[in-house]
Amino acid sequence: MRDLEKAIEILTNGGTISIPTETVYGLAGRIDSPEAINNIFALKKRPFFDPLIVHVASIEQAKDFTLNWNKTSEILAAKFWPGSLTLILPKHSKVNSMITSGLDTVGVRVPKHPLTLELIKKLNAPIAAPSANFFKKTSPTKASHVENSFPDLFVLNGGECSVGIESTIVHATETQVFILRPGMISKSDIEEVLLEHQINLPVVIKESEIASGHLKHHYMPELPLIVQYGDNLDLSHLPKELLLKPTIFEVQDDPIVVARELYQKLRDFDSNASSIIFKLNSDVLDQESWQGIINRLNKAASYTLSK
Ligand code: TXA
Ligand code: MG
């Protein structure tokens, strides 16, 4: 049986699988299967107050499960879907409130991965999927990352994720556009399209108090991570044992490459390392294209240092 057919069969029977997306791998179940949704929370050890993102194959399908689209959401979906943008919209009553943790809104996106798009089309049903990692841990960007965490799970292998960090989450209201989680679609990318359409709303980064990524610690690797912005920083207040044998990454690349490799690097420490150190140039702190990466690094870090 082809992997795609196997994936469809498991999902149709109310099972849970892992799916590739361009951002990170997801832990997926059909949105109309309470059993699958329950299993997603159980497998991830995720608290029920943390809502899931619904993945659809088209704007039309998104509209079947959401209500009251405003013009801004229309424009953003038309521009960025399929792609790494999640829109928060009022939910249709047919979306199980377990998916939305009882909220009257739902996060939806059309992922940009041909296998997963084909899967959703063939299933003829949306799939709910958080990232396929244990709660608060590093997200997976390769099938092998998922297999290491969940050896019994069927993983639809779609290769390495091309974006590498989770989607930008946006809630467009009538008066402001909120970025609830920064990602590789940046604030200026969003401002630019809105301006093209003569929409002059302020775009503000305001992390969702609902989103789990909002927790101080999230995306954490297996070893303590120290993130340094700039050189010659004072490390004297750090626990000495962490500095005995750190695995050091000098991060200088293009942000697109850094994002793609970020979660792999967080797993690439030496077996006897005492910690992981990421060294970045302090200039990146002010650059919009780095905000998604900085957000993940700061949450994954045990210590963040800058001048
Ligand atoms: O790129 C992604 O978004 C990946 C791939 C698999 O699509 N998914 C992902 O899901 O990152 P997850 O569950 O790890 O993060 C989704 C975030 C959560 O922190 C959740 O709280 C927030 O989206 N979220 C979901 N529905 C929401 C809502 N109605 N209002 C505010 N935040 C919401
Ligand atoms: Mg996650």
The per-residue pLDDT for 49 is 87
In ligand 1, which atom is closest to the CA atom of 109? 7
246-266 tens-digit pLDDT: 999 999 889 999 999 999 999
Q: Is 19 in the pocket of ligand 1 (CB under 6 A)?
A: no
Sequence-separated (6 or more) residues with CB below 8 Å from residue 215: 136, 299
- Comparing CA positions, the residue from 53, 91, 95 lying closest to residue 69 is 91
Q: Is 130 in the pocket of ligand 1 (CB under 6 A)?
A: yes
Angle at 259 between CA 213 and CA 185, to 5 degrees: 70
Task: Give 88 Cα–ligand 1 centroid separation in angstroms.
Answer: 10
Residue 257 corresponds to which tokens in the numbers above?
Answer: 């490459």
* CA distances in angstroms from 126 to 56, 269, 280, 282, listed in the order given: 5, 37, 39, 41
Sequence-separated (6 or more) residues with CB below 8 Å from residue 224: 242, 275, 276, 302, 303
d(CA 272, CA 258): 24
The per-residue pLDDT for 75 is 98
* Residue 300, H or E segment: helix 291-300
By residue count, the chain amounts to: 307
Q: Is 207 in the pocket of ligand 1 (CB under 6 A)?
A: no
Residue to mutate, 43, 73, 116, 131, ligand 1, most ligand atoms under 8 Å from C-beta: 131
The per-residue pLDDT for 154 is 98
Q: Is 82 in the pocket of ligand 1 (CB under 6 A)?
A: no
**Least distant ligand from the CA of 112:** 1
Q: What is the mean pLDDT of residues 60-70?
A: 97
193-206 tens-digit pLDDT: 999 999 999 999 99
